[in-house]
Amino acid sequence: MRTAPILEMRDIGKRFGQFHALKSVNLTVYLGEIHALMGENGAGKSTLMKILAGAYAASSGEIIIDGLPRTIKGPKDALAAGITLIYQELNLAPNLTVAENIFLGSELQRGGLVQRGRMVREAQQVIDRLGTRFRATDRVMSLTIAEQQQVEIARALHRNSRILVMDEPTAALSSRETVRLFELIKRLRQEGMAIIYITHRMAEVYELSDRVSVLRDGQYVGGLTRDTLSAGELVRMMVGRPLRDLFNKNTQVAIGDTRLQLDGLTDGRKIKPASLTVRSGEIVSLSGLVGAGRSELAQLIFGVRKPTGGTVRVDGKSVTIHSPHDAIALGIGFLAENRKEQGLFMDMAVQENIVMATLTRDSFYGLLNRLKARTIASEAIRTLNIRVPHALVRAGGLSGGNQQKLLVSRWLAIKPRILILDEPTRGVDVGAKSEIYRMMGQLAQQGVAILMISSELPEVVGMSDRVYVMCEGQLVGELGREDISQEKIMMLATGTVPQQASA
């Protein structure tokens, strides 16, 4: 029989001026459980957790911990109540050691002198409990992102926190690092900690969660337990429509002539000679495991990497692409996998980011046509439903989903004939995914040839007319629409059924 909850958030409301970010939200959490908190970007998840952590003050409602009302006016009150929030952007001092970060703000002292030796010993005991590979004397700047997360968790354990909130903790982790993090989270659950886990990823919910609570438009819309969990019901709760409506692929789109053709394209190292075609109005997926060479092949097409052999044809004509500038001139757009490092200019305005790929086209003697830039930006914001108050907002201040739509809009501005999308929905919520799928469907109807790289198999199955599969730098198979399935893709991707791809 379940014991009394450690945490109850009752009728929590939060207003920013006239905007209601939260409306009478309830959340109940028990010790020894992983409680997933889900919802679209802007649903109120982070706002609710910031109220719990003392970063925001609630406009209404109450917080009950261990059956007693607690007033949380700031982070110190939250820490005293046993609550730690690990933000997506880690809150560590990189120049300090692991031990100094763990004790930051609560250093051990005797006679006015900091007891560094004792701090190192106690910090080492905590990180040994986590099974980490680093030492208490290592500087945080020398650690990986995954190890820095472990420092944050170690700090929570040292503070005897019983409620640990993790906001999108796998966003910057590799697959191997994610597996290790999951093992650690499960161990903390076994030790009796209550873990609130914010994520957009269905696979993580299935892997970890005991219960799920869903927010939509600042309101609590319901919850599911592990035994009632289903992707269809989660999507319906998050976006207000069923899973079958998520993919907007129109199977009636007329497929035209070959628009992009590769014949033996290779870089002589990572990518073995690759041949594929994408036709007008067609969505073709490039699938495979992480590290198979999908992104590198896309970079060869777009001129980011230099080929050592093979040819590229656009609309039947052999072309030479020395740089992205050449590719853009041919009507090829490329949405890069890492939007923050390879795509967006985070400190620049939304409008400036949107027109970045059309500067040459829309400039006259080096001067940008600002009226045209405003028109393009306004149209993109409207078409893709980018949620911003105006086009001059800084791109770095947008949510992940809106940043991704912003980057997509940049390539729509060039009116592409060929569009390469590398992980187009990574790190975005279900609502933003649906809008990106809708956009892809509309472009296909307009005759654009789309080459999509995706690690999400439901996305590949739901959106593709054909699928090419890569394994260790080589195209190993091609699946037509009637043959596309997650099982067949994985068999090819893992080398279980090797076969030569046809052009």
pLDDT of residue 56: 92
Average pLDDT estimate for 390-401: 68
Name the pTM for this structure.
0.61
The reply to whether 179 and 308 lie within a common domain is no
Contact status, residue 213 vs residue 203, Cβ threshold 8 Å: no
More confident residue, 111 or 266: 266
Contact status, residue 225 vs residue 194, Cβ threshold 8 Å: no
Residues with Cβ within 8 Å of residue 170, at least 6 apart in sequence: 177, 178, 181, 199, 201, 204
* Exposure letters 264-278 (e unless 16+ CB within 10 A, then b): ebbbeebbbebbbbb
Take residue 5 and report the two structure tokens written for it.
Answer: 């909850």
| Average pLDDT score over the chain | 84
Cα–Cα distance measured from residue 280 to residue 260, given in angstroms and rounded to the nearest whole number = 9
Helix (H), strand (E) at residue 207: helix 202-208
Instruction: Answer with the one of 382, 397, 415 that is the final residue of a domain.
Output: 415
The reply to whether 355 and 496 lie within a common domain is no
Count of structural domains within the chain: 3
pLDDT of residue 499: 46
Instruction: Answer with the one of 394, 415, 436 that is the final residue of a domain.
Output: 415
**Quick check: 251 pLDDT over 70?**
no
Q: Which of these ranges, 169-183, 272-286, 339-353, has the smallest mean pLDDT?
A: 339-353
Take residue 136 and report the two structure tokens written for it.
Answer: 């208490």
Contact status, residue 261 vs residue 277, Cβ threshold 8 Å: yes
The reply to whether 93 and 11 lie within a common domain is yes
pLDDT of residue 434: 80
Domain-embedded: residue 501: yes
Residues with Cβ within 8 Å of residue 150, at least 6 apart in sequence: 127, 130, 132, 134, 184
**Quick check: 395 pLDDT over 90?**
no
Range of the domain at 490: 255-331+416-503
- Which of 111-120, 128-137, 242-251, 466-475 has the highest mean predicted lDDT (pLDDT)? 466-475
Domain-embedded: residue 192: yes
Categorize the per-residue pLDDT at 497 as very low, low, confident or very high, splitting at 50, 70 and 90.
Answer: low
Q: Please tell me whether residue 249 adopts helix, strand or coil conformation.
A: coil
For residue range 114-166, list pLDDT tens digits in order: 888 999 999 999 888 888 889 999 999 999 888 898 898 898 888 889 999 99
The reply to whether 158 and 102 lie within a common domain is yes
For residue range 342-388, list pLDDT tens digits in order: 666 666 776 776 666 565 665 555 565 666 667 766 776 676 667 66
Domain-embedded: residue 495: yes
The reply to whether 121 and 265 lie within a common domain is no
Q: What is the four-CA torsion angle of 471, 283, 401, 183, rounded to 10 degrees? A: -30
The reply to whether 452 and 382 lie within a common domain is no
**Quick check: 91 pLDDT over 70?**
yes
Burial level of 134, CB count in 10 A (0-12/13-18/19+)?
middle
The reply to whether 486 and 423 lie within a common domain is yes
The reply to whether 29 and 68 lie within a common domain is yes
**Quick check: 491 pLDDT over 70?**
yes
Instruction: Answer with the one of 381, 397, 415 that is the final residue of a domain.
Output: 415
pLDDT of residue 424: 86
